[in-house]
Amino acid sequence: MSFEIPDELRYLESHEWAREEGGTVRVGITDFAQDELGDVVFVELPSEGDDVTQEDAFGVVESIKAVSDLYAPVSGTVSAVNETVADQPELVNDDPYGEGWMIEIDTEDTGELDALLSPEEYEAQIA
């Protein structure tokens, strides 16, 4: 099976993706992760203004099969939370790289993204 792995993103080994736009990093879970989880039924996210630390858990995604922690790709302050996925968790399955995003983090150190997996490295991990 082939999974979508957008070239412009960076990835965590724990299957989160990160998209940096001007010091803000949008975060979600990958196509592979949503497929492994099955139907997502609940998403627990932090509040705007919460601080997160790279590689620490910031929330939970729950499916009919499993409960998984969500890990921060960078350290910073949560600047936006996708409230829509709280109400419609199926968006995580339907559009993991679009409408199914989780949070945005304002970071002072976008260099932390360099420690994440490239699309090629992530593809090799899930192969």
* Alpha carbons 86 and 107: distance in angstroms, whole number: 24
Domain regions of the chain by residue span: 11-109
Kindly state the average pLDDT of the residues 18-32: 96
* Whether residue 1 has pLDDT greater than 80: no
Encode 16-65 in three state secondary structure. EEEEEECCEEEEEECHHHHHHHCCEEEEECCCCCCEECCCCEEEEEEECC
Q: Tell me, which fold does domain 11-109 have in CATH?
A: OB fold (Dihydrolipoamide Acetyltransferase, E2P) (2.40.50)
Kindly state the average pLDDT of the residues 3-30: 97
Q: Spell out the residues 6+ positions from residue 88 whose beta carbon is closer than 8 angstroms to its own.
A: none
Kindly state the average pLDDT of the residues 33-42: 97
Length of the chain in residues, anyone? 127
Considering the entire predicted model, what is its pTM? 0.96
